[in-house]
């Protein structure tokens, strides 16, 4: 459910496609990698490394965000963050975003401007520009973003490089967004820090290239849940991964919220998505960067275990099944 807009609010139909595009793009700062931004048939982006890293995510109102829970600016920041996290999970530097935006004709133009303001702001945090895209009419508000990045002379860190004997480490928050979703679902708006993690995730952007420089053998963005996403590494690499719960970073604030809601903070940490932390494997403890926390090991076999056992609950989110 959306908040009711003011009665005199201009709609996107009243403003028109091209005036609205001008409103959300004019006067925006671009990074040096943007050689030609919005306004032409296509953008031109510099890729000094010579290799383009690309990823796409789609956010749908009512599935990935709710406008009675989040402001338009927060939705925009989230839309950018979930895409930029995929780029840094390859060890790349974010360079540009292409935005596809669809909404009903009666959508307030101010809502679109708010979303785009948040999107530009988050892109700037990661060092990327918003270089182009498209706006169309749709019965549902949908934001589709393609993110581009540059390897900056490093090799891409894929999901398929983990080796037996590697250690598993994470960087960023785990379980916070899941806790925030639980809080919002109960009709509460605090604790503010927990709720903010659901509204506007904070991927550790510098940590991806940092891991690549440190020799990470595999890496993934934790978008669907730690166990689910480590499962992608295990499958792609043909190995098994074991997580030790005594090493998991469970913040005391999560424990407090879980206690108040009758929930399990460890379950949030293991399976909660949308924090967009990074998980990676490294050749040994001495190669793990300072800001990362070791949580497990890579072994011979298949699948992901917790303290040597198969986790009995669903490992994370999966569309159409969850």
The reported pLDDT for the residue numbered 320 is: 56
Asked whether residue 173 falls in the same domain as residue 299, the answer is yes
pLDDT at 316: 84
Q: What is the DSSP letter of 108?
A: B
How many domains does the chain fold into? 2
Sequence ranges of the binding site for Mg(2+): 41, 55-57, 86, 134, 221, 224
Same domain? For 144 and 171 the reply is: no
Identify the weakest region by mean pLDDT among 5-14, 56-65, 101-110, 192-201.
5-14
Of 150, 184, 216, which one is at a domain's C-terminal end? 150
Q: Does residue 319 carry a pLDDT above 80?
A: no
Tokens of 152: 């900056």
From residue 158, how far is each of 138, 179, 220, 259 by CA, in Å? 35, 29, 8, 37
- The CA distance from 269 to 79, in Å, is 22
User: What was the pLDDT predicted at 9?
Assistant: 82
- Whether 40 is in a domain gets the answer yes
Q: Which residues are annotated as a binding site for substrate?
A: 64, 274, 317
Annotated binding site: 41, 55-57, 64, 86, 133-134, 159, 221, 223-224, 274, 317
Compute the distance between CA of residue 246 and CA of residue 179 in angstroms, rounded to an integer: 20
Look at residue 311 and tell me whether its pLDDT is greater than 80.
yes
Contact between 190 and 313 under an 8 Å Cβ cutoff? The reply is no
54 domain residue, yes or no: yes
Q: Per the structure block, which two tokens stand in for 302?
A: 């298949």
Predicted confidence at residue 254, as pLDDT, reads 96
Residues 29 and 105 in one domain: yes
Q: What is the pLDDT of residues 204-223, one digit of tens each?
A: 999 999 999 999 999 999 99
Q: Which domain holds residue 137?
A: 12-150
pLDDT at 1 over 70: no
- Same domain? For 221 and 117 the reply is no
Annotated binding site for ATP: 133-134, 159, 223
107 plus 80 within the same structural domain? yes
Q: For residue 71, what is the domain's CATH number?
A: 3.30.1330.10
CB atoms within 10 A of CB 310: 9
Kindly report the average pLDDT of the chain as a whole number. Answer: 94
* Cβ proximity of 260 and 210 under 8 Å: no
Q: What is the mean pLDDT of residues 72-84?
A: 97
In the chain, pLDDT over 70 holds for what percent of residues?
96
Instruction: With H, G, I as helix, E, B as strand and everything else as coil, classify residue 122.
Output: helix
Same domain, 78 and 144: yes
CATH for 200: 3.90.650.10
């Amino acid at each position: 459910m959306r908040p009711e807009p003011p009665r005199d609010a201009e709609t996107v139909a009243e403003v028109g496609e091209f005036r609205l595009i001008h409103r959300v793009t004019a006067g925006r700062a671009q990074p040096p990698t943007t050689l030609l931004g919005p306004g032409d048939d296509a953008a031109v982006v510099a890729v000094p490394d010579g290799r383009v890293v690309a990823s796409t995510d789609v956010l749908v109102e009512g599935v990935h965000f709710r406008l009675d829970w989040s402001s338009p600016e927060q939705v925009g920041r989230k839309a950018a963050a979930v895409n930029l996290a995929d780029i840094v999970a390859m060890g790349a530097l974010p360079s540009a975003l292409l935005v596809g935006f669809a909404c009903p004709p009666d959508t307030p133009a101010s809502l679109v401007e708010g979303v785009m303001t948040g999107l530009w702001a988050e892109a700037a945090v990661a060092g990327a520009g918003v270089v182009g895209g498209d706006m169309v009419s749709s019965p549902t508000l949908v934001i589709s973003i393609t993110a581009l990045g540059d390897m900056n002379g490093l090799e891409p860190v894929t999901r398929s490089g983990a080796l037996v004997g590697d250690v598993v480490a994470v960087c960023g928050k785990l379980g916070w967004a899941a806790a925030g979703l639980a809080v919002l679902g109960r009709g509460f708006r605090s604790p503010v820090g927990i709720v903010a993690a659901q509204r506007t995730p904070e991927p550790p952007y510098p940590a991806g290239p940092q891991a690549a420089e440190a020799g990470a053998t595999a890496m993934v963005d934790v978008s669907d849940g730690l166990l689910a996403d480590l499962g992608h590494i295990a499958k792609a690499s043909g190995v098994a991964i074991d997580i030790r719960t005594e090493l998991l970073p469970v913040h005391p604030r999560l424990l407090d919220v879980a206690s108040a809601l009758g929930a399990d903070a460890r379950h949030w940490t293991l399976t909660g998505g949308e924090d967009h932390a990074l998980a990676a494997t490294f050749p040994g403890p001495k190669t793990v960067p300072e800001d990362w926390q070791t949580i497990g090991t890579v072994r011979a076999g298949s699948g992901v275990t917790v303290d040597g056992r198969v986790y009995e609950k669903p490992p994370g989110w999966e569309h159409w099944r969850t």
